[in-house]
Amino acid sequence: MTAAPTMRALVVRGKREHGVEEVPLPAPADGEALVRVSHVAVCGTDLKLLQGDLHDAHYPVIPGHEWAGRVVAAPTRPELVGQPVVGEGITPCGRCLHCARAEWNLCTDLDEVGFTRPGAAADAFCLPAANLRVLPPELSGPEGCLLEPLGVALHAVERAPALDGARVGIIGAGTIGLLVGQLARRSGVARLSLVEPAPGRRELAGRLGLDAVPALEDWRSDPPEVVFDATGVAAVFSEGLQATRAAGTYVLVGYSGDATAAFAPSRVMLGEYTVRGVLSGYGQVDRALELAVSGAVQLSPLVSEILPLSDYRAVLARRPTAPLRTVFTPAG
């Protein structure tokens, strides 16, 4: 009897219970494609999943929602076989009230690569063939991994009021903060200032044409009216809102998991602030590809290192000021 094919994958079996294992190689279901992974990146949400701090984690799960690869099987889309691809990782149910209102990323029965279904931290994974896009030759595999966070940044800018002529602030020069900064700079802002305590990240922001300061106190004399909080640190919210101009808008992009922070709700009332959340970048993959290929947004400077997936634990103990996106190559 022939043994069933297997592959190597990073499997999270419970809170802080994870490792690279030998698992069955998936086979594409009807309408799906099997993608051989070339690169997969780890973001803050993945770290929270590995650390047991993701609020609605489903175990066991193979993480990995920022990826690039090559199609090896696609029964309903044979023209994709052999093509380098990226793709939309979210599939809404299309039946719930949120889907009826085109609020796709709030779908109550959302199917998402790396969370509710096996992700790309593996030799291969399956997803709907309709979600795939061919990765143009102008973009590398590591850059392809950054298209998903670019989609989040695009959605964040959409959730904000019009930025043309506005004073804009960004808290955090991580991957999302730097992507939001590049997009905001293209939107005709009157002033753009990014707060980041880490000198290395401020230097990178400068290379991307973004003015960066070390602390929120630097905004005190002329506070921004639109602020993007891309830190994913709950304790920043109160201080960041206080640094926003009255009647301004505070956009929460970073995910802080179950962490909480003391906050006086009357501050929102007294300043007539608007607070908006940003969940994901569903539906943005084509626009993200267009911006990256045109050079309007730079992705490669945000890739800090490329490691084998077997070294995934290297990112677990790092401080928030450590390198930006670590990209891994397949386990097998």
Q: What pLDDT band is residue 53 in, cutting at 50, 70 and 90?
A: confident
Contact indicator for 67, 32 with CB cutoff of 8 Å: no
pLDDT, position 316: 84
pLDDT, position 319: 59
Please compute the mean of the pLDDT values over residues 293-300 and round it to a whole number. Answer: 97
Please give the tally of structural domains in the chain: 2
Per-residue pLDDT reduced to its tens digit, 229-253: 999 999 999 999 999 999 999 999 9
Is the pLDDT assigned to residue 256 strictly greater than 90?
A: no
Cα separation of 91 and 239, whole Å?
36
Looking at the fold, whether 176 and 162 belong to one and the same domain comes out as: yes
Per-residue pLDDT reduced to its tens digit, 14-49: 988 999 999 999 999 999 999 999 999 999 889 889
Give the global pTM.
0.95
Cα separation of 282 and 263, whole Å?
30
Domain that holds residue 188: 151-277
Per-residue pLDDT reduced to its tens digit, 207-217: 999 999 999 99
Looking at the fold, whether 201 and 315 belong to one and the same domain comes out as: no
Looking at the fold, whether 170 and 70 belong to one and the same domain comes out as: no
The reply to whether 290 falls in a domain is no
The reply to whether 291 falls in a domain is no
Looking at the fold, whether 47 and 60 belong to one and the same domain comes out as: yes
Looking at the fold, whether 255 and 315 belong to one and the same domain comes out as: no
The reply to whether 292 falls in a domain is no
Q: What pLDDT band is residue 57 in, cutting at 50, 70 and 90?
A: confident
Helices (H) and strands (E) in the chain, counts: 9, 17
Provide the CATH number for the domain around residue 134. 3.90.180.10
151, HSE (Cβ side, Cα atoms, 13 Å): 24
